[in-house]
Amino acid sequence: MKPYRLGVTLFILSSLLTLHPSVLSAAEPAEKQPNILFIMVDDLGKEWISSYGSETIKTPNIDALAAGGMKFNNAYSMPSCTSSRTMLLTGQYPWRNGYVSHWDVPRWGVGYFDWKKKENTTFARLMKDQGYATCAAGKWQINDFRIEPHAMKKHGFDDWAMWTGAETGVKASDKRFIEPYINTPEGSKVYTGKFGSDVYTDCLISFMTRHKEQPMCLYYPMPLVHRPWVATPDHPNAKNRNEKHVAMVHYVDKMVGKLIKSLDDLGIRERTIVIFTTDNGTTGGKVGFTAIRNGVEVPGAKGELTEAGVCAPFIINCPGTVPAGVETDALTDFSDLLPTFVELGGGKVPEDLTIDGTSIASVIQGKKQDSEREWIMSIGGGAGKIVEGRVVGAKVFGERVVRDKQYKVWVSEKKEITHLYDLKKDPWEKANLLDSELAEHKAAIQKFQAVVDSLPDKDASPFYEPRAANAWDVKENVKKPKAK
């Protein structure tokens, strides 16, 4: 073959290889698929974030995310730990997946988040299908790692450093902060002389360092600032409950800053979408915390369906991808996270997987100004109960709230709308407009009634498979009938 023909042949072969779909599919992900770092703080309302108007504390690293990205005003979590976690993992509302109440699986022994059921497919498994490396660090609480040491792997995580939750019979497992009891692929152990938040954060940074050349999906459900309240390494002299709570909020902000600096140091900041939120409002009740937000005293409302209990801080940041300095009233809730992650990764949710959420990827990327949601919902609160060896929701039909950008309704256990609030005029939900004769109020009730009517009369229970009893299983409290 003459030299010029050989050159032309090589050029054509090179061009064909460059354009061949199989070659493109192998090369594109590293360039086009963004990393996702999802940070979810435990028990912290907007009133403790200065970019949301807190006058009690400064959170400069979180505020920098908001200033350089997008801050949502209307993002719903659930009012308690378990329901928020299962909802964001599966894209399903609690009434569908059964986690309508809170329970700590390792402590109760009965029941667990079963990866064998398609309905419990997590965003991590779907992201792995798209070529993502996945890691989780922080608080899990919905599986007992003594029953299944590799539950995290089966839920789709390549690596993890998790506080599983307090394990009945294992005293060391109570600790998540000072000398924490943490599970990794190597097993569970006490990290003597360590502060939990440092261990969790360092795990994520180590994972990012090892996998920075490929797309990553990172899940950080922070154990901070949940009780027990402790002095932190930065504020070792914090003594009373309030001082410790403040110190823990400062440490949250510090960990956010540490992660962002690591993204910069690794050279992956501009292709990492960072999402910051919380699982529910701040601890309330007799031991609760109060902060000043925009001149209003806001008591902690964890476990409540008020806006302070379920309307979470929600900030998204990625230089060059997420528009900077944007404040949006777009509606979203935790069911949207699974489809959003999948779309950001360039994929589609499987057609045979039932979810309730709608992707907000186009809003995050600045392609659209509003989400497709016409309403968002929050449900779940209080502890579950044991019935015939199964953990179930505390109520047949759990109380819930549904809202749009202006109006919000409360729905009772009888599946009846009991309250209507105009959140634009009455953000603290003081004036019930249920009996109003105004046309706009009647129209709002009619709209939400259609949503309520579409819901089943009975909330689902979690999926179970029979298993051998464990010594630590919680026994049923069977009350004997009173003698007549």
Rounded CA-CA distance 401/365 in Å is 29
Q: What is the DSSP-derived secondary structure letter of residue 130? A: T
Residue 344: pLDDT above 90? yes
Q: What is the pLDDT of residues 26-79, one digit of tens each?
A: 334 445 899 999 999 999 999 999 999 999 999 999 999 999 999 999 999 999
Residue 385: pLDDT above 90? no
Rounded CA-CA distance 376/357 in Å is 10
Rounded CA-CA distance 378/261 in Å is 34
**For the residues 390-417, what does the mean pLDDT come to?**
95
Q: What is the pLDDT of residues 432-444, one digit of tens each?
A: 999 999 999 999 9
Rounded CA-CA distance 345/303 in Å is 33
The percent of residues above 90 in pLDDT, for the chain, comes to: 83
Residue 17: pLDDT above 60? no
Rounded CA-CA distance 200/219 in Å is 11
pLDDT at 96: 95
Among residues 447, 442, 405, 411, which one has the least CA distance to residue 423?
Answer: 405
Which residues, in sequence order, are CB contacts of 308 under 8 Å at separation 6+? 45, 46, 47, 281, 282, 298, 299, 300, 301
Interstrand relation of 133-139 and 159-163 (parallel, antiparallel or unpaired): parallel
Rounded CA-CA distance 144/154 in Å is 13
At 476, is the pLDDT very low, low, confident or very high (cuts 50, 70, 90)? Answer: low
In degrees, to the nearest 5, what angle opens at C-alpha 315 toward C-alphas 160 and 152? 15
Contact 127, 156 (CB under 8 A): yes
Q: How far is CA 123 from CA 28, 39, 84, 215, 287, in A?
A: 21, 15, 14, 14, 35
End-to-end CA distance of the chain: 107
Contact 358, 371 (CB under 8 A): yes
pLDDT at 196: 98
Quickly tell me which residue has 């599983």 as its tokens. 164
Rounded CA-CA distance 311/305 in Å is 9
Contact 83, 382 (CB under 8 A): no
- For the chain, give the mean pLDDT: 91
Q: Which residues, listed in sequence order, are joined to residue 298 by a DSSP beta bridge?
A: 291
Q: Which residues, listed in sequence order, are joined to residue 274 by a DSSP beta bridge?
A: 37, 317
Residue 183: pLDDT above 90? yes
Contact 97, 121 (CB under 8 A): no
**For the residues 375-395, what does the mean pLDDT come to?**
87
SS3 content of the chain, % helix, strand, coil (to 5): 35, 20, 45
Among residues 334, 450, 263, 378, which one has the least CA distance to residue 86?
Answer: 334
Rounded CA-CA distance 156/291 in Å is 38
Quickly tell me which residue has 């006490």 as its tokens. 190
At 1, is the pLDDT very low, low, confident or very high (cuts 50, 70, 90)? Answer: very low
Higher pLDDT, 348 or 382: 348
pLDDT at 6: 39
Which alpha helices (H) appear in 72-185, and where do they start and end?
A: 81-90, 94-97, 105-108, 123-129, 151-154
Q: What is the pLDDT of residues 258-311, one digit of tens each?
A: 999 999 999 999 999 999 999 999 999 989 999 999 999 999 999 999 999 999
Q: What is the pLDDT of residues 208-253, one digit of tens each?
A: 999 999 999 999 999 999 999 999 999 999 999 999 999 999 999 9
Q: What count of other Cβ atoms lies within 10 Å of the Cβ of residue 151?
A: 23
